[in-house]
Amino acid sequence: MALAKIKNFIDTGLKSVSTPLDRTVNLEPEVGIRIVHSMNEKALHVTVLGARHLPQNFGFTRVNSYVVKVKLIPGKEKFETTSKNESWPLWNEDFTFHLRKETKQKFGKTKVIEEEINGSRFIVATLYAILEDKPLIATDKKEAEKEKTALSPTKELAKKANKKKDGQGASSENQEPTKNKLFSQFFGKGTDKVTETSVTERKLYEKRRTVGATTISLDPKNFTSKPAKPKHPSDVWTGDLWRPLRPISSGILGADEKKENRKGQVELSLCQEKSDKNEEGSEKLVLSLHRLRCSLQTMHEHETLKGQMYIKMSVVDNGRVTHFWKSDRFAPCVSMKFAPDLAAVVADNPYQGALKDVSFVIKFVSKNKMGKKTTVGHFVIGPDVGGSYGEQWKQALAKPGQQITKWQSFE
């Protein structure tokens, strides 16, 4: 009887309790956007409201802050919010996209074209996480060491004395910055500053990781109501829209989603070129790398390897590597572009039929600070290979002088 009474009490108690997390039932990352279409101003006023349920760690690295980039597609204008160091950041920042274009015509005349909004245009909001400099384990250790140990006054005095000695012996070194200043004053060139800014910008972009993106169609059906306090009586808006941040896919048509999520894909072009001499055996096969694309899930898996990535393309002749090209190391990313003229390997054909024993091996490798290499994925393009890898080889041999470009998946 006592157990039955307790059970009834628990059941009724649970039924009467209201859930305090009604507005946070959906725990996936979201971003809040508001769009106002001003017909009088011929502009779109986009407000980035905020974001919620954002990840605080990427692999073994903490997130320092978050940034949202807003873009009108098609269009060249794009804006970026300030960075916020919160998992539920609130921005309420406004950006204006003008719907007027000036086109230059003959004799210096300009023509203004007014653009209309329709279902084929979109506002894309992409949220980025800016990572900290050091991994999560290193930062935790550093904080623990700061709490435990503190410098004694004798050590501090010794450090100050060393600094003074270094300052006395560095008089000749201090003269170099003054020379650089004089050079920049006379010739108007600040080479050091330019290089410093470019390096810092590059470092900032290397720390960025894409959390996800959302697209809002500019269909007139979405602009049905009027704002609470409109600037103009004809203004219409979408209201406050909270949309989930979806992973950015590679956009490769006909790609297998499982393969794409597991490894990644590269765009390669294969061409059979001939030299100026019209002789047998003067042909050569050139394999060029254009782009790398991965899904967000794949990038997260690369982060856990705690290393930098690179791509290696090799020419294998009878089991022996004759030529190879290796890219510079880069941080795990969703997409990466390469210069096809530089990112290429060449397989020579010294005599007719020599290409039967040649193949290309493409590897995607991660290398950490300790020098440990982990092969993320690889594939082979050659005469005895099936699928799309073998098709690209056959098409290149069947159509000399024509570049056969295809997306190939790592396995």
The residue segments making up the domain with residue 49 are 30-134+202-244
Structural domain count of the chain:
2
Question: Are 295 and 223 members of one domain?
Answer: no
Does the residue 151 lie in any domain? no
Tell me: do 399 and 356 sit in the same domain.
yes
Does a cis peptide bond (omega within 30 degrees of 0) precede residue 135? no
318 and 239 in a common domain: no
CB-CB contact of 258 with 331 (8 Å): no
Tell me, what's the pLDDT at 293?
Answer: 85
Q: What is the pLDDT of residue 254?
A: 39
Q: Could you give phi then psi for residue 298, rounded to 5 degrees? A: -65, -40
Residue 35, CB-side half-sphere exposure with 13 Å CA sphere: 27
At residue 384's C-alpha, the angle toward residues 381 and 386, to 5°, is 70
Q: Evaluate whether residue 175 is within a structural domain.
A: no
Residue 293 lies in a domain: yes
| 291 & 404 share domain | yes
Q: Which of 215, 244, 273 is the last residue of a domain?
A: 244
Cβ-contact 199, 98 below 8 angstroms: no
Whether 240 and 269 share a structural domain: no
Query: 375 and 269: one domain?
Result: yes
Same domain, 320 and 234: no
In terms of domains, do 217 and 284 share one? no
Strands 335-337 and 265-274: unpaired
Mutual orientation of helices 171-187 and 191-207 as an angle, nearest 10°? 100
Residues 319 and 222 placed together within one structural domain of the fold: no
Per-residue pLDDT of the chain (411 residues; tens, 9 = 90+): 444 544 454 344 333 333 333 344 557 899 999 999 998 898 999 999 999 988 888 766 788 899 999 999 888 889 999 999 988 999 999 999 988 776 666 666 777 777 778 877 889 999 988 888 766 554 445 555 555 554 445 445 455 555 444 444 444 444 455 545 544 444 444 445 445 555 555 556 667 888 888 989 898 888 989 998 888 999 999 999 999 988 765 444 434 443 444 688 999 999 988 765 555 556 789 999 998 888 767 877 888 888 889 999 999 988 899 999 999 988 887 778 888 899 999 988 766 667 788 899 999 999 998 889 999 999 999 988 888 899 999 999 889 889 999 999 998
The reply to whether 378 falls in a domain is yes
- Kindly state the tokens that stand for 343: 């990112």
Structural domain contains residue 47: yes
Specify the pLDDT at position 169: 46
Q: Is 130 a domain residue?
A: yes
Query: How far is the C-alpha of 326 from the C-alpha of 71, rounded, in Å?
Result: 34
Note the pLDDT of residue 18.
33
- CATH number for the domain including 38? 2.60.40.150
Residues 103 and 217 in one domain: yes
CA pair distance 275, 246, nearest whole angstrom: 49
How far is the C-alpha of 297 from the C-alpha of 204, rounded, in Å? 22
Does 195 fall in a domain? no
For residues 213 and 79, membership in a common domain is answered with yes
Instruction: Look up residue 382 and give its two tokens.
Output: 């050659």
Residue 253: the pLDDT is 40
Residue at 385 is within a domain: yes
Same domain, 83 and 216: yes
pTM for this entry: 0.51
